[in-house]
């Protein structure tokens, strides 16, 4: 064994969340998860509030400038009815999720799918896919040609993201608020990051 390996002392490395700003990024990892997963390793959330789970597509981005910063965005595959949108009669059979406001069946503990919001989830995912490029060329035609979503094709693609701070469930976190096609010039500047994509 080499002197380097004999003398190397491993140490923990902390992950640095991508700070607020706009960045050209590389898709590092794409993984199918559920909203019950607390992280990408498959650990389950404590105190999960629903009897149902739904699929999500988790996409992890790293900065193209090789500076520290990583962020994962989860694309939902279904949308849910909000309790406050129900009639008073309907509300008698449901409770309100205190974090997101979803209607939860008192009988089953399951959320109620909202077909219009589910279509919106598909539209958001398609908007993202249409903004990805590899070596300067959009990949959407290649994705369409496969006839399904081949998530392996997304790894190594590029786009520009805007990261903003938000408060969710009483905690402050950074979140992707906008995704664009890769810019001609590298984007590495702070922004207010409030625009939704």
**CA 140 → CA 62, 128, 151, 153, 179, distances in Å?**
21, 10, 12, 10, 15
Quickly state the pLDDT bin for 185 (edges 50, 70, 90): low
Same domain flag for 129 and 174? yes
Q: What is the pLDDT of residue 194?
A: 38
Is 191 within the bounds of a domain?
A: no
CB neighbour class for 44 (10 Å; exposed up to 12, middle 13-18, buried from 19):
exposed
Supply the pTM of this predicted model: 0.81
Is 145 within the bounds of a domain?
A: yes
Same domain flag for 73 and 134? yes
Same domain flag for 105 and 123? no
Same domain flag for 70 and 129? yes
Q: Can you give the residue range of the structural domain that contains 177?
A: 16-77+118-184
Same domain flag for 85 and 178? no
Average pLDDT, the chain: 86
CB neighbour class for 130 (10 Å; exposed up to 12, middle 13-18, buried from 19):
middle
Is 27 within the bounds of a domain?
A: yes
Q: Tell me: the pLDDT tens digits for 51-94?
A: 788 888 999 999 999 899 999 999 999 999 999 999 999 999 99
Same domain flag for 125 and 85? no
Contact 125, 75 (CB under 8 A): yes
The CB density around residue 103, as the number of other CB atoms within 10 Å, is 23
Contact 128, 138 (CB under 8 A): no
């Amino acid at each position: 064994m080499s002197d380097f390996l004999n003398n190397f002392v491993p140490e923990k490395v902390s992950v640095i969340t991508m700070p607020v700003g706009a960045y050209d990024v590389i898709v590092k990892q794409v993984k199918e998860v559920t909203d019950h997963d607390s992280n990408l390793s498959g650990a389950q959330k404590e105190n999960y509030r629903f009897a149902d789970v739904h699929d999500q597509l988790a996409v992890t981005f790293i900065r193209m400038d090789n500076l520290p910063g990583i962020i994962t965005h989860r694309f939902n595959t279904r949308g849910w009815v909000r309790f406050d949108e129900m009639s008073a009669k309907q509300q008698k059979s449901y409770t309100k999720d205190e974090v997101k406001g979803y209607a939860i069946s008192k009988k089953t503990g399951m959320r109620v799918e909202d077909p219009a919001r589910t279509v919106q989830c598909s539209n958001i995912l398609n908007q993202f896919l249409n903004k990805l490029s590899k070596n300067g060329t959009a990949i959407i035609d290649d994705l369409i040609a496969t006839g399904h979503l081949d998530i392996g094709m997304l790894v190594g693609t590029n786009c520009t993201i805007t990261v903003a701070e938000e408060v969710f469930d009483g905690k402050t976190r950074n979140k992707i608020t906008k995704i664009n096609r890769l810019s001609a010039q590298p984007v590495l500047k702070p922004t207010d990051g409030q625009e939704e994509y």
